[in-house]
Amino acid sequence: MMAVDGQGRLEKAVVIALKDVSLSYNSNRDDNALEHIDLTLTEGEFVCLLGPSGCGKSTLLKIIAGFISPTAGTAVMDGEPINGADWHRGVVFQQPPLYPWLNVMENVMFGLKMRNIPVHESHRLAEEYIDKVGLREFRHSKPYELSGGMKQRVAIARSLVNKPRVLLMDEPFGALDALTREQMQTLVRNIWWDSKCTILFITHDVDEALSLGTRVIVMSKRPGRILRELNTEFTYKISGDNSNRTRYSDQFLELREEVLNLINRQELMYQV
């Protein structure tokens, strides 16, 4: 539901809300992986999460996915507590866990089958989403016949075919070469634009975060807290700009430097 702010403007609906979330992987609450996280994701946002290694980015994503529960605080989706995994929240990992014995179509249809969607409907949906990720010619191929980028396309189609409200992506392009990575960024930006779903995207790459996100969140070293949030608009400009001008603009480079400094400071603190 939309709310109206103090100046009469329509506010976007909050989809995910974490309030004062902390998480410890053991019973020692002084050893938190995450601490005092307040985070909301609103309808249609593209939020990128950056931070030093081990700061709890994946842990945060797993809480939102419903794979683990916070030790303290609350995590809700549409006002309801997040309890376990749910197809309304699609997840894409760095290494796509495709079923090696199923072909592309069958992999994409798998979740629909689990949801008892009729075969003809799931077939139609799978074809639609395989087309969207550009794999029509490979729909009968098995995962071992595909490149890393193609496998990631299958994983994206497999999540999107459920029409999730939230797509959670944990370093999805971390294992891809630079060219494939840029093509995948364009694909995800277009998909986000078309589907209007809310995306939370973890990356180690500041350029990637600034090129994709409408909001970039920088986390501190462990225990992970939110250090800084930046609203960014580069993704809109980049989508209509094949010359890469936006990525070399003063504004982009200044923000890039600022974020890199923040992260590097955290990494240095980590080594002390």
Binding site for ligand ATP (CB under 6 A): 25, 33, 51, 53-59, 222
How far is Cα 71 from Cα 30, in angstroms, rounded to an integer?
Answer: 12
How far is Cα 131 from Cα 140, in angstroms, rounded to an integer?
Answer: 13
What does the buried/exposed string (b/e) look like for 12-22 if buried means 16 or more CB atoms within 10 Å of the residue's CB? eebbbbbeebb
Compute the least distance from the CB of residue 68 to ligand ATP, in Å. Answer: 8
The SS3 assignment for 61 reads helix
Q: Within the chain, how many helices (H) and strands (E) appear?
A: 8, 12
Compute the least distance from the CB of residue 173 to ligand ATP, in Å. Answer: 14
Rounded to 10 degrees, the C-alpha dihedral 190/194/198/200 comes to -10
Nearest CB to ligand ATP, comparing residues 57 and 139: 57
Nearest CB to ligand ATP, comparing residues 58 and 232: 58
Question: Between the CA of residue 153 and those of 44, 91, 200, what are the distances in Å?
Answer: 21, 13, 17
Nearest CB to ligand ATP, comparing residues 58 and 162: 58
How far is Cα 20 from Cα 39, in angstroms, rounded to an integer?
Answer: 9
Nearest CB to ligand ATP, comparing residues 56 and 66: 56
Compute the least distance from the CB of residue 249 to ligand ATP, in Å. Answer: 28
Nearest CB to ligand ATP, comparing residues 17 and 219: 219
Compute the least distance from the CB of residue 25 to ligand ATP, in Å. Answer: 3
Compute the least distance from the CB of residue 57 to ligand ATP, in Å. Answer: 4
Compute the least distance from the CB of residue 118 to ligand ATP, in Å. Answer: 38
Cα dihedral sign, 112-76-44-172:
negative
The SS3 assignment for 56 reads coil
- Residue in 271, 269, 268, 264 with CA at minimum distance from that of residue 206: 264
Which single residue is written with the structure tokens 């891809």? 176
Cα dihedral sign, 222-224-230-236:
positive
Nearest CB to ligand ATP, comparing residues 26 and 242: 26
Nearest CB to ligand ATP, comparing residues 53 and 190: 53
Compute the least distance from the CB of residue 34 to ligand ATP, in Å. Answer: 8
